[in-house]
Amino acid sequence: MIMSGKTLMWDQTLFRRGEIFEFDHIPEHFAHRDSQIRSLMFGVRPAMQGMRPLDLMCVGPPGTGKTTAVRKAFEELGEHAPGVVTVHVNCQANQTRYTIFSSIFHKLIGHAPPTSGVSFRKILDEVAKYLIQNEKILIVALDDINYLFHEKEVDNVLYSLLRAHETHPGTKISVIAILSDDRMTYIFDPKVGSIFLPEEIPFPVYAWDELKSILRDRARLGFYDGVISDGVLDAIADYTSDAGDIRVGIDLLKRSGLGAEQRASMTISVEDVRSAYKRSRMLHLSRMISSLSEGERAILAILAKKDVLTAGDVYAEFHETVGLGYTKFHTMLNKLVSLRLIDTDFPTAGMHGRSRTIKLRYGADDVLMLLQR
């Protein structure tokens, strides 16, 4: 714990509760998302009466509270609806129907299915059997469902979940889709669009004062008194507002605190925040680039060498480099936009949108360095 004095001793810490600054922490008081929580609870409430819940779509940019809101709703169901089982699936890590249903199987049965020799049909049969025999209603949250669009798996996944009651009578399954890009137009196969008609819940970007309020609450709970000043919180709120992602601010609180401890300081300075932001931004970029395909990395490399280009110019070099067609290029471009790695605009209509300009959201030197790793 912290004691009096100007210098932090080796056995002292600035952190009262370090877990407050982890991304998977669910705050007891979830501020500035009251209407979204109410909409979520209204949608899942039928499950408390033994009915199938509504399908829902939480839509908004990354870091606007969608996942936390769904987890809060799942917590509420866990306390008051014993007949409901909830499963949260990270679609960035699980991008196929098989791995998604394996995650559901693991949550229901208590262990993962065998790694080989088990068909998708067998996994679905076991999931349905568990729900029917135990009289459970299943709600599946597909987080970052964007990735299923990129991998052309979204229709298979939704069809298998929402048509399960036809092959396994008595099965009740609903879906909460979390779409981390409010600019993305989602179009489903007609056979899916006829059964997946979700209530849409928008999650707008937090206003600056809302960001600071959230960060102040985290700092108050996570740090000891006097560790962080209002001016330093302002600096963190500014960086967070620029990024449009509350997770950036929470990570900055943690890294700034660690930086102050490394200096043996009793307080966090604005310089700690600046230094932490440089490291945090690069780490975030590195993680995103490492998950990209060869074609997606090629697009970034082209932009990093040429700065701002039209989509037609980028495609010409992309096609020459990797040999893929415009449809695939367009899909990759949309994915990079949704990941907030690039920005596009549409100054003129242009054929197939090829006149839109494209530019990196990160420094070209940083992108090239990480692409070469």
Residues 162 and 256 in one domain: no
Higher pLDDT, residue 105 or 116: 105
Question: Is there a single domain that holds both residue 176 and residue 239?
Answer: no
Q: Which of 202, 219, 235 is the last residue before a domain boundary?
A: 202
CATH number assigned to the domain comprising residue 179: 3.40.50.300
Domain end residue (candidates: 186, 202, 218): 202
Q: Is the pLDDT of residue 116 over 50?
A: yes
Least confident of 22-36, 253-267, 327-341: 327-341
Residue with tokens 């056979």: 191
**Domain of 225?**
208-288
Residue 325 falls inside a structural domain: yes
71 and 173 together in one domain: yes
Same domain, 217 and 280: yes
* CB atoms closer than 10 angstroms to residue 29: 7
Q: What is the mean pLDDT of residues 139-152?
A: 88
- Is the entire prediction scored with pTM above 0.85? no
Q: Do 351 and 270 reside in the same domain of the chain?
A: no
Please report which helix (H) or strand (E) contains residue 343, including its range.
strand 342-345
Q: Confirm if 333 and 299 have CB atoms less than 8 A apart.
A: yes
* Per-residue tokens: 24: 């998977």
Same domain for 53 and 123, yes or no, is yes
**Same domain flag for 231 and 162:** no
Burial class (CB in 10 A: 0-12, 13-18, 19+), 351: exposed
Q: Are residues 64 and 143 in the same domain?
A: yes
Could you give the number of structural domains in the chain? 3
pLDDT value at residue 350: 42
Shared domain for 105 and 156, answered yes or no, is yes
Among candidate residues 288, 310, 337, the one where a domain is terminated = 288
pLDDT band for position 57 (cuts 50, 70, 90): very high
Asked if residue 8 is part of any domain, the answer here is no
| Judgement on whether residues 130 and 245 belong to the same structural domain of the protein | no
SS3 67: helix
CA dist 164 and 179 (Å) reads: 23
pLDDT, one tens digit per residue, over 237-266 is 999 998 888 988 999 999 999 999 999 999
| CA-to-CA dists, residue 214 to 207, 208, 223, 226, 327, angstroms | 11, 10, 14, 18, 41
Q: Over the chain, what is the mean pLDDT?
A: 90
